[in-house]
Amino acid sequence: MLHLRIIAPTDRSTAVADLLADDPGVAHLAVLPGAARQPVGDLILCDVVRESADRVLHQLQELGVEARGAISADDVELTLSAAARKAARDAPGHGEDAVVWDEIAAKTGEQTVLTGTFLVLIMVATMIAGIGVLLDQPILIVGAMVVGPEFGPLAALCVALLRRQPNIIARSVQALVVGFLAAMLVTVLSTWALTAAGLVDRGMLLADRPLTDFIWRPDALSWVVGLLAGVAGMLSLTSKKSGSLVGVLISVTTVPAAANVAVAAAYGVWHEAGGSALQLVINLCAIVLAGLLTLFTQQLWWWHVRRQSNRDGVAWR
């Protein structure tokens, strides 16, 4: 469930409370008249099951609550209530499958900002992967995949494309392009520094690397893995399955491919740099395509659930 805290303008408070009271997915409704001071209004508290949350939030925005008041939501980890169980039974659909679009947009939108933390993480991840490439060590490659923060902007790009938000699209693309270019540049410099220190050499890159050479040799399976990862990543994001998301991060070779581009460029092995660059592009495109299709399918599914509920007489406004 989600716990909603709503500051409703006084002239809209009754309409908001009635809307919430009539919704089968809402429980534990409380109204505190005049409790809010900034902005001024009534404080309304309630819990709503996830399968009804998107509809409720949309209706509150239509009443002007967002413009003149405030809406905030928190996850409820534990609820012991017969009213909550009844709301879960009465609300159409299943909470595990529910998509709260405003929640997803807010979560992914925050990850499009090109922050110092994002840049440091993607640089560190790419340098780790660069060392893993030279040592032919899959454990370093896996570690770099987990550290890499690139799935955030990729997910935001998928959501923004579906919702037609050009500003978010531009910020997501900027974060990805600047992040990967900066990470590859730093990895080139770190490779030269490690070479000068005698810790690595060009021969390590040219040697047989049976455990990691897949990074610069893309094939049809690269598309398959990228598409499957995009589907799993979006589902883990919309259903809050963080464990699944970690698995997605380990399954795609975006950061390792960027690292291999940088290391190969540092040593002038251009055919390998080209193969790694193609691997990177394939994975990025496949993840975005699959993520977008997954979100679109979820949108269609909940539209079907809404129509079915209307036919069955459930109160959908």
**CA neighbor of 251 nearest in space, from 172, 112, 182, 151:** 151
Q: What is the 3-state secondary structure (H, E, C) of the chain?
A: CEEEEEEECHHHHHHHHHHHHHCCCEEEEEEEEEEEECCEEEEEEEEECHHHHHHHHHHHHHCCHHHHCEEEEEECCCCCCHHHHHHHHHCCCCHHHCCCHHHHHHHHHHHHCCCHHHHHHHHHHHHHHHHHHHHCCHHHHHHHHHHCCCHHHHHHHHHHHHHCCHHHHHHHHHHHHHHHHHHHHHHHHHHHHHHHCCCCCHHHHHCCCCCCHHHHCCCHHHHHHHHHHHHHHHHHHHCCCHHHHHHHHHHCCHHHHHHHHHHHHHCCCHHHHHHHHHHHHHHHHHHHHHHHHHHHHHHHHHHHHHHHHHHCCCCCC
Q: Are residue 160 and residue 260 in the same domain, yes or no?
A: yes
Q: Is residue 272 located within the same domain as residue 296?
A: yes
Same domain, 156 and 282: yes
Tokens of 212: 């990691």
Give the pair of three-digit tokens for residue 115: 């922050």
Q: Do the domain assignments include residue 314?
A: no
Based on the domain organization, do 71 and 155 belong to the same domain?
Answer: no
Query: Is residue 316 domain-resident?
Result: no
Cis peptide before 210 (omega within 30 of 0): no
Paired sense of beta strands 70-75 and 2-8, if any: antiparallel
CATH assignment of the domain containing 78? 3.30.70.120
What is the domain count for the chain?
2
Both 111 and 132 in one domain: the answer is yes
Q: What is the pLDDT of residue 240?
A: 63
| pLDDT number for residue 96 | 67
Final residue before a domain boundary, out of 72, 97, 122: 97
Q: What is the pLDDT of residue 314?
A: 47
Residue 167 lies in a domain: yes
The residue among 97, 117, 136 that closes a domain is: 97
Phi, psi (degrees; rounded to nearest 5) at 148: -60, 130
Domain region containing 188:
104-302
Q: In the chain, which stretches have pLDDT less than 70?
A: 93-97, 240-252, 305-317
Q: Which residue has the tokens 């809010």?
A: 36
Same domain as 137, residue 48: no
CA dihedral angle for residue 21, residue 25, residue 28, residue 30, rounded to 10 degrees: -40
Q: How far apart are CA 215 and CA 238, in angstroms?
A: 29
Q: What pLDDT is stored for residue 293 in this prediction?
A: 93
Condensed to tens digits (0 to 9), the pLDDT of residues 35-82 reads: 999 899 999 999 999 888 888 998 999 998 998 999 999 888 888 889
Tokens (6 digits) for 27: 């429980």
The reported pLDDT for the residue numbered 6 is 95
Question: In three state form, how does the secondary structure of 109-134 look?
Answer: HHHHCCCHHHHHHHHHHHHHHHHHHH
Q: Please, how many CA atoms are within 13 Å of residue 20, restricted to the half-sphere of its CB?
A: 29
Q: Are residues 176 and 121 in the same domain?
A: yes
Give the pair of three-digit tokens for residue 313.
Answer: 């007489």
Residue 317 confidence (pLDDT): 42
Verify that 142 and 30 share a domain, yes or no: no
Q: Are residues 86 and 119 in the same domain?
A: no
Whether residue 308 lies inside any domain: the answer is no
